[in-house]
Copies of this chain bind each other. A is one copy, B any other.
Amino acid sequence: MARTDVRERLLTVGLEALHKRGFNATGVQDITDAAKVPKGSFYNHFESKDALGVEVVQHYAAKGAERRLPLMEGSGPPLARLRAYFKSLNQLGPATGFSRGCLLGNFGTELPGQSPAIRAVLEAAFDDWAKAIAQVIREAQKAGDVSKDLSAETLANFLLNAWEGAVMRSKVEKDAAALDAFLSVTFNKILT
């Protein structure tokens, strides 16, 4: 197997494993087993488990940025795009029995105290995400669809955090009630 293939595979499989089980509950051996790569090879590609965690966050964030292209660049009204965006995010829960949550939220809960490097990339990822949502909300405010009482940044950050909380709750309850409530309150009350 080519060197770059092994590294990619470790990153991809590592992301999957860490997302499924959490950072501390997943061992390097679990990741290398799943990737069908000898354990000793791991350290040829990543300096440490922590270093993998950093790249996993960055990779997941990059995928998230791709996922929100229709939101950022679509042609419909901003609120409709935003609703479609959160609806599509909400489909991810049921697909895995509400077992995964959001990797950023999971790591944001588990790791800030233990890994400064991971905390830093998490912070960057959340901030970028919130900025993207704020941009769409700002459009909606300009269009007169959302009142300007609260800034687009405040609303975007609030909603992003609210969504993460809803995802966590859907993990606990193993159902979509929290995600549904999020959509309902967001689009029937907050973004009005």
Cβ of A172: which chain B residues have Cβ within 8 Å of it?
Answer: 108, 112, 119, 122-123, 126
Cβ of A24: which chain B residues have Cβ within 8 Å of it?
Answer: 22, 24-25
Picked from B110, B154, B160, the residue with its CB within 8 Å of the CB of A184 is B154
How far is B104's CA from A74's CA once the two chains are assembled, in angstroms? 38
Cβ of A105: which chain B residues have Cβ within 8 Å of it?
Answer: 109, 165, 168
Q: How far is the CB of A149 from chain B (nearest CB, A)?
A: 7
Taken together, the copies of this chain in the complex come to: 2
Of A33-41, A81-89, A174-182, the one contacting chain B is A174-182
Picked from B21, B150, B165, the residue with its CB within 8 Å of the CB of A114 is B21
Q: B126 and A169: CB pair below 8 A?
A: yes
Interface of A is mostly: helix
Picked from B20, B110, B182, B188, the residue with its CB within 8 Å of the CB of A161 is B182
Q: B181 and A158: CB pair below 8 A?
A: yes
Cβ of A161: which chain B residues have Cβ within 8 Å of it?
Answer: 162, 165-166, 168-169, 178, 181-182
How far is B178's CA from A184's CA once the two chains are assembled, in angstroms? 21
Chain B proximity mask over A69-83: 1 for CB below 8 Å, otherwise 0: 000000000000000
Q: Is A99 an interface residue (CB 8 A)?
A: yes
Picked from B109, B126, B162, B178, the residue with its CB within 8 Å of the CB of A109 is B109
**Chain A interface size range:** 35 or more
How far is B119's CA from A35's CA once the two chains are assembled, in angstroms? 29
- Chain A interface residues (CB < 8 Å from chain B): 20-22, 24-25, 99, 101, 105-106, 108-110, 112-114, 119, 122-123, 126, 149-150, 154-155, 157-158, 160-166, 168-169, 171-174, 177-178, 181-182, 184-185, 188-190
Nearest 9 A/B pairs, CB to CB: A165-B165, A161-B165, A162-B162, A24-B24, A164-B165, A109-B109, A158-B185, A108-B172, A161-B166
